[in-house]
Structure 1
Amino acid sequence: MKRTITILVLLAIQMAHSQTKNKTADALFDKMYYIDAAKSYEMSINNGDISKEILQRAGDAYYFNTQMENASKYYKKLLADYPTEVSAEYYFRYAQSLQGIQNYELAKKWMKNFSEKQKSSDSRGQNFSLKTVTLEDIKKLKPQFLLENLEINSAYSDMGPMFYKGDLVYSTTVDSSFLKTNKYGWNDQPYLNMQLGKISPQQTNVSFKERFGKEITTQYHEACVAFSPDEQTIYFTRNNYNGKLKRDSKGVNNLKIYSATAVESDNGSVKWENVKELPFNSDNYSVGQPTVSKDGKRLYFVSDMPGTIGSADIFVVDILGKDQYSNPRNLGEKINTSGREMFPYITDKALYFASDGFLGLGGLDVFESRLNNEVFDEPVNLGAPLNSSMDDFGYIVNEDTNKGFVCSNRKTGKGDDDIYSFERSCVQSINGYVFDAISNKNIAGAIVTLKNNENQKLQETVSRIDGKFEFEENIDCKTPYTIEAAKDNFTTSTKAIVTPENSGITEVPIGLDPALIERKDGLLKIKIGIIFFDLNKSEVRYDAAIELNKVVLLMTQYPTVVIKIESHTDSRADDQYNLDLSDRRAKATRDYIISQGIAPERIESAIGYGETQLVNNCSNGVPCTEAQHQMNRRSEFIITKM
């Protein structure tokens, strides 16, 4: 597979600048003619030159064309022979090449080595070693995409799809013979130019319709387009070319974004006129891969301009009208990493982009960052089969139909970069954990039940030693469910949820209260039986001690719990007498609990309230039954700290 997409990586590949003894190969490499350079370096290696420089460049020449098996072979030799002499970047490239051949375990080891050698905050190593999401988690994601290879694909590069008037604009190296056919030395293929394809009614295939945008086509690269909402303005990526190629001080021809305006003829055909460079372009860095927000107010793009976090970052500008734009703003470290973020596509619901800086399956993977109140969520890897061990990028989607297109240079394609149609199904899982609501410790062995909206049991599982549980089978999107968790010596808890309308994992933590605790009137109370005292006395009786021992037991099990004790009487007898009696009983209760080994400071207060806080209408002079009076004769143990 050739790495044609790298012409649009916009930059800034960190190349080995040291020269080798093979001057011919070096010249080819410096011009980015990687296919010919790789062959020439291999000849030197076969003739006995295994210097650090020759191994670096041989590996790079294959790496930049996504020939990962050959790249890994030379990187392996490089790191074995010169482990302390090469930069950390080669540890990263070796790990990436190993992922490209699906040797994930060894890739994980070398990514760890990269992170240790880098000795910085490089997010690529950090993302790879995150404990919250592992490579195994991504590999286990339920498939939510059905992909079809399009008939327009060729043995060369076909990429950069974008919706336009119900059709599909895309870029290809095929059929550019109406211009002088130059070949791009990077991969020995013709330059990319744009075509228009007709999307089938089922949106699963695309057939060639006509060449697109002849008037904005040059003999160099044009690709990766975006349109204003009214489709009267096109934004496209092109080499820095205005009659002739321009190069920076290092001899690199960077990329730029251009705009043009649609002019429709009477027969409905469109010509693109008034071609302009966007004002934030530069001869000294690359800008490309535009995408426009649905309201037409913002333009997102990729660049390696000053302020870039990694090799290539996603930026945004405000479209102010009359060819005016705000200054570019970097989307920040939530979206951009120390690696490459590329091929953004913005909808009213999410930002989709390709990255090799987040944890992935190899090469570039497609990520989704949901948009909530103009704030992007943490990016989520969309998993296989959309992503593969090779490069996957250029994702566009109709959010109403969940159908769209994506590019990949995976080995099962027709050759090089291919465009695939996809249909995205909504796939949900419910994950969670059960925990003690007082101590926050995980609870193992809880019975967790999933029920539908009609309270019918759908699935049942048991929480693991870490308290976690999962429901993965037949979980629908945008559907109400109830989750119930039960465990001996705990109060059963239920939680109602509605799964989101988009694919993903719904996290559901469920806290269980110990059986001795109840939540009442917004308070946490220790639930025990009635504390009986002899008539007009405050000494703790034997039967009362049995109940109070439950309080002692709970406070022993939860050593951070602090309580206050409240004692109450009914309304019979004098008000002041009841107040004094209840206060003596509260303090006697406190003294008993302390006598059983509970620290005095864990009892915040012990106060009697007499008949001042009746729970019913049985106040002075109101006739009530004995049972009604009994409701007011109570002791309460209120948890104030946990």
Structure 2
Amino acid sequence: MVKKQNIFILLFGLVFVFSVGYGQSKASKGDNYFFQYEYQRAIAAYEKDLTEGTISLKQYLNLADSYYKTNDFDKASEVYFELYKKDTLLGNHHFNKMLQSFSKTSNRDRMEAFLATKSSSFDQEFLENLQFNSELLANSNNETLDFQIFNLEANSGQSDFSPSFYEGNLLFSSGRTQDKKRRYVPTGEGYLNIFKGTLKPSGQVDAVNAFEEIPNSDYHKATPFYSQKLQSIFYVLSNTNGGDLAFNENGKNALAIGMQVKDGPFRLLLKDLSTSFYYPFYDEKNDKLYFSANFEDGYGGTDIYYVHTNRGQIMSAPINLGPRINSPGNEIAPYVFENSFYFSSDVFYGLGGMDIYKSNVEGDSFSIPVNLGNGINSDKDDFGFIMRNEGEGLLGYFSSNRNGGKGSDDIYGFKVDKKPGLRTLTLKGKVVKGNSPKDFVDKAEIRLFDDEGKLLAESYSGADGSYRIEIPWVKSLVLESSKERYSKLHLELTEQELEDLGTSEYNIPISSYDDLVEEREKQTVVKLKKFFFGRSKTQLTPDIEAELDKVVSFVEKFPSVQLRIETYTDSRGGGSTNFTLTQRRSDAIKKYLINKGVPNTNILYSVGYGEDKILNNCTNGVFCLEMLHQQNQRSLIVVLNDNVLFD
């Protein structure tokens, strides 16, 4: 079975390994073939060793990888599974390959079963990415954009990939042969070189020639990125010494990243004979240089990193983007466009070998990466995504080895009205106190439900009250938020309301019970400003109604409260008259609350106490100032079930 060479052979295959020792019991011809990326010949040699019983566990893993590289996923999954049972060399990166193999053979149930056994070893961010994208891709109602995708007429019969805008041109990498005497053995093509073609209004490219504005080399030059701000081209190149390939102590030649200033000097930016660097992208806004690399302390195969620079000059050690972006698979080809971070990954939960994902840049962090879905992604390898504004829409390019191409990898163009990607819904903002919006609420629970009551997502507010939840797009939902001793928000949002939210923030108000009550006369009461009825009156004034509206709001926030209305007078007047007066006042308060929507079941009692509970010495016959008499004129809304309300 012959597999079209893909990006892993083209770029990972740029690395030469002449001798590798693993302390194995028997050397194998398969090792030489494997480390020269001649996978079919490696399979033949390793299978011979297997029948002779001389293959080591490491060579057995190489055999699995060789099956995987040649698309023999049935055999690859069998060998990975055998190694998994031995619990030896199968780390997260190869576990990802095993799950990919299962998915390629339509054995998804088996894949999910094995994933469950390994989930504890993965980062929480990765598991969230997995769940989100699985749900997103399974949602058949998800809207996709109408792409105009076209194969470039400038593609060759070899590998063409990694496009980059260059003024009115397109730069790209190609394995098309220029010198028939110099071929790169693993691919059978020429050494990779950078080419330039003229962009036409249709998006097609013509007048393709070798790009001559970078230093000449007999070896690989690939994956260019042009920074207009710096007037410089970043690209990868084989490590050389005096014009010849340079190797580390293990006989390995890796890839470096260089920077060529137009009409200026060349600078070698990142070089390590034991580590290869891929796909440079310079972020002009933040002066960061992003790239992929296979450092040993990464999360999988190749991870995406960045370094701080001063106009391209390296100013920091490489910084890993972390498990929100990097996975047990390979992540390559970073690209930033209008605050969206695009990259490619072969993590097992995608549509094919390598898929393109989009994540929103949020300060120093990233949102959950979202698969761009069918159209740009396929069941093959899709990578090297770029895009820019063009007229009233967008023009972009990417590389793919999907069926129907001209070569091993082809460059495809696309035109679209708005940013590609499966549609999602993002709710973000802060949880605040309803009665004091400037005060944030931490550790509040936020939950989203569909219209049938199914939980879609849940999260908690941070120390500053901030929250963020992203889900596949839905046309309606219910938002709930709560915290112990706080009110519970229940909000139904229609499709139009969700559309209107857009990318704006939505602050969630919930009220603290303890802020709304206080202790008075050895009992818990609703916190109100003191109000007074007119002399011998029972009518509610606007000031009284304004305070009672606070009780209405309190019951709305805490619908389980049980209340008692208590009203008192001072000692002036007859005792019987005062008792009747306060009872009528309590009844007037109850009537108002019920008319304003407070359920009758929440008000257990409305009681007038007359002058029975004088708070000071102003009893019958005692002369007191008016202000002292007013201390005894009061109405209280008592919370009877305060001690069990939150049990």
Specify if TM > 0.5.
yes
Q: Distance in 1 between matches of 2:107 and 2:207?
A: 38
Paired position in structure 1 for 2:111 = 107
Q: Distance in 1 between matches of 2:574 and 2:389?
A: 70
Residues 49 and 20 from structure 1, CA distance in 2 versus in 1: closer, same or farther, beyond 3 angstroms? same
Paired position in structure 2 for 1:415 = 407
Paired position in structure 1 for 2:101 = 97
Instruction: Report the CA distance between 1:406 and its aligned residue.
Output: 0.9
Instruction: Report the CA distance between 1:442 and its aligned residue.
Output: 9.4
Q: Distance in 2 between matches of 1:402 and 1:236?
A: 25
Paired position in structure 1 for 2:397 = 405
AA aligned opposite 1:99: S
Q: Distance in 1 between matches of 2:557 and 2:76?
A: 59
Check whether the contact 2:31–2:59 (CA below 8 A) recurs between aligned residues.
no
2:32 equivalent to 1:27: yes
Instruction: Report the CA distance between 1:128 and its aligned residue.
Output: 7.0
Paired position in structure 1 for 2:251 = 251
2:468 equivalent to 1:466: no
Q: Distance in 2 between matches of 1:47 and 1:258?
A: 47
Paired position in structure 2 for 1:176 = 178
Instruction: Report the CA distance between 1:196 and its aligned residue.
Output: 0.9
5 Å-filtered alignment, 1:387-536, equals 387-399=377-389, 401-426=393-418, 463-466=451-454, 496-498=497-499
Instruction: Report the CA distance between 1:396 and its aligned residue.
Output: 0.4
Check whether the contact 1:313–1:330 (CA below 8 A) recurs between aligned residues.
yes
Paired position in structure 1 for 2:122 = 121
AA aligned opposite 1:98: F
Paired position in structure 1 for 2:266 = 275
Check whether the contact 1:288–1:301 (CA below 8 A) recurs between aligned residues.
yes
AA aligned opposite 1:370: N
Paired position in structure 2 for 1:235 = 234
SS at match of 1:318: strand
Residues 567 and 441 from structure 1, CA distance in 2 versus in 1: closer, same or farther, beyond 3 angstroms? farther
Residues 422 and 558 from structure 1, CA distance in 2 versus in 1: closer, same or farther, beyond 3 angstroms? same
Q: Distance in 1 between matches of 2:346 and 2:607?
A: 62
Instruction: Report the CA distance between 1:27 and its aligned residue.
Output: 1.7
Q: Distance in 2 between matches of 1:147 and 1:321?
A: 35
2:190 equivalent to 1:198: no
Per-residue CA deviations over 1:57-99 (Å, capped at 9, x if unaligned) read 3321232x3x32x143243155358732553344432211233
2:323 equivalent to 1:320: no
Q: Distance in 2 between matches of 1:135 and 1:49?
A: 46
Instruction: Report the CA distance between 1:360 and its aligned residue.
Output: 1.6
Paired position in structure 2 for 1:38 = 43
SS at match of 1:73: helix
Paired position in structure 2 for 1:476 = none
Among all aligned residue pairs of Structure 1 and Structure 2, give the percentage whose two residues are the same amino acid: 26
Q: Distance in 2 between matches of 1:56 and 1:180?
A: 34
Check whether the contact 2:133–2:349 (CA below 8 A) recurs between aligned residues.
no
AA aligned opposite 2:29: T
2:226 equivalent to 1:224: no
Aligned counterpart for 1:149 among listed residues 151, 176, 179? 151
Instruction: Report the CA distance between 1:250 and its aligned residue.
Output: 2.8
Check whether the contact 1:10–1:312 (CA below 8 A) recurs between aligned residues.
no
Paired position in structure 1 for 2:547 = none
Instruction: Report the CA distance between 1:181 and its aligned residue.
Output: 1.5
Instruction: Report the CA distance between 1:353 and its aligned residue.
Output: 0.6
Instruction: Report the CA distance between 1:286 and its aligned residue.
Output: 2.1
Instruction: Report the CA distance between 1:296 and its aligned residue.
Output: 6.9
Paired position in structure 2 for 1:532 = none
AA aligned opposite 2:354: L
2:351 equivalent to 1:361: yes
SS at match of 1:61: helix
AA aligned opposite 1:340: N
Check whether the contact 1:343–1:395 (CA below 8 A) recurs between aligned residues.
yes
Instruction: Report the CA distance between 1:484 and its aligned residue.
Output: 10
Residues 108 and 135 from structure 1, CA distance in 2 versus in 1: closer, same or farther, beyond 3 angstroms? farther
Q: Distance in 1 between matches of 2:424 and 2:137?
A: 17
Per-residue CA deviations over 1:483-539 (Å, capped at 9, x if unaligned) read 799xxxx9997673445889xxx999999xxxxxxxxxxxxx9xxxxxxxxx999xx
SS at match of 1:402: strand
AA aligned opposite 1:197: G
Q: Distance in 2 between matches of 1:419 and 1:307?
A: 32
Residues 399 and 380 from structure 1, CA distance in 2 versus in 1: closer, same or farther, beyond 3 angstroms? farther
5 Å-filtered alignment, 1:600-611, equals none
- Give structure 1 stretches of 5+ with no counterpart: 264-272, 434-439, 445-461, 470-480, 512-524, 526-534, 538-550, 611-633
2:285 equivalent to 1:295: yes
Check whether the contact 2:279–2:291 (CA below 8 A) recurs between aligned residues.
yes
SS at match of 2:43: helix
Check whether the contact 2:160–2:409 (CA below 8 A) recurs between aligned residues.
yes
Residues 429 and 509 from structure 1, CA distance in 2 versus in 1: closer, same or farther, beyond 3 angstroms? farther
Check whether the contact 1:149–1:420 (CA below 8 A) recurs between aligned residues.
yes
Check whether the contact 1:122–1:338 (CA below 8 A) recurs between aligned residues.
no
Check whether the contact 1:356–1:362 (CA below 8 A) recurs between aligned residues.
yes
- Give structure 2 stretches of 5+ with no counterpart: 428-444, 458-473, 479-489, 510-525, 527-535, 539-550, 595-599, 612-634
Per-residue CA deviations over 1:544-576 (Å, capped at 9, x if unaligned) read xxxxxxx9xx99x9998335555789xxx9999
AA aligned opposite 2:267: K
Check whether the contact 2:256–2:277 (CA below 8 A) recurs between aligned residues.
yes
Instruction: Report the CA distance between 1:222 and its aligned residue.
Output: 1.0
Q: Distance in 1 between matches of 2:425 and 2:262?
A: 50
Check whether the contact 1:10–1:255 (CA below 8 A) recurs between aligned residues.
no
Q: Distance in 2 between matches of 1:334 and 1:430?
A: 17
AA aligned opposite 1:200: K
Q: Aligned residue pairs: how many?
A: 518
Q: Distance in 2 between matches of 1:394 and 1:99?
A: 23
Q: Distance in 2 between matches of 1:94 and 1:281?
A: 32
Q: Distance in 2 between matches of 1:580 and 1:16?
A: 101
Check whether the contact 2:177–2:189 (CA below 8 A) recurs between aligned residues.
no
Instruction: Report the CA distance between 1:276 and its aligned residue.
Output: 1.8
Instruction: Report the CA distance between 1:419 and its aligned residue.
Output: 1.2
AA aligned opposite 1:466: K
Instruction: Report the CA distance between 1:289 and its aligned residue.
Output: 1.1
Q: Distance in 1 between matches of 2:216 and 2:610?
A: 89
Check whether the contact 1:565–1:637 (CA below 8 A) recurs between aligned residues.
yes
Residues 332 and 48 from structure 1, CA distance in 2 versus in 1: closer, same or farther, beyond 3 angstroms? closer
Q: Distance in 2 between matches of 1:91 and 1:465?
A: 36
Q: Distance in 2 between matches of 1:493 and 1:211?
A: 56
Aligned counterpart for 1:56 among listed residues 54, 58, 61? 61
Instruction: Report the CA distance between 1:174 and its aligned residue.
Output: 0.6
Q: Distance in 2 between matches of 1:308 and 1:484?
A: 38
Paired position in structure 2 for 1:72 = 74
Q: Distance in 1 between matches of 2:85 and 2:334?
A: 36
AA aligned opposite 1:176: Q
Residues 404 and 333 from structure 1, CA distance in 2 versus in 1: closer, same or farther, beyond 3 angstroms? same
Check whether the contact 2:163–2:172 (CA below 8 A) recurs between aligned residues.
yes
Instruction: Report the CA distance between 1:229 and its aligned residue.
Output: 2.2
Paired position in structure 2 for 1:166 = 168
Paired position in structure 1 for 2:370 = 380
Indicate the RMSD between aligned Cα atoms, in angstroms. Answer: 5.5
AA aligned opposite 1:206: V
Q: Distance in 1 between matches of 2:349 and 2:13?
A: 22
Residues 284 and 146 from structure 1, CA distance in 2 versus in 1: closer, same or farther, beyond 3 angstroms? same
AA aligned opposite 2:357: F
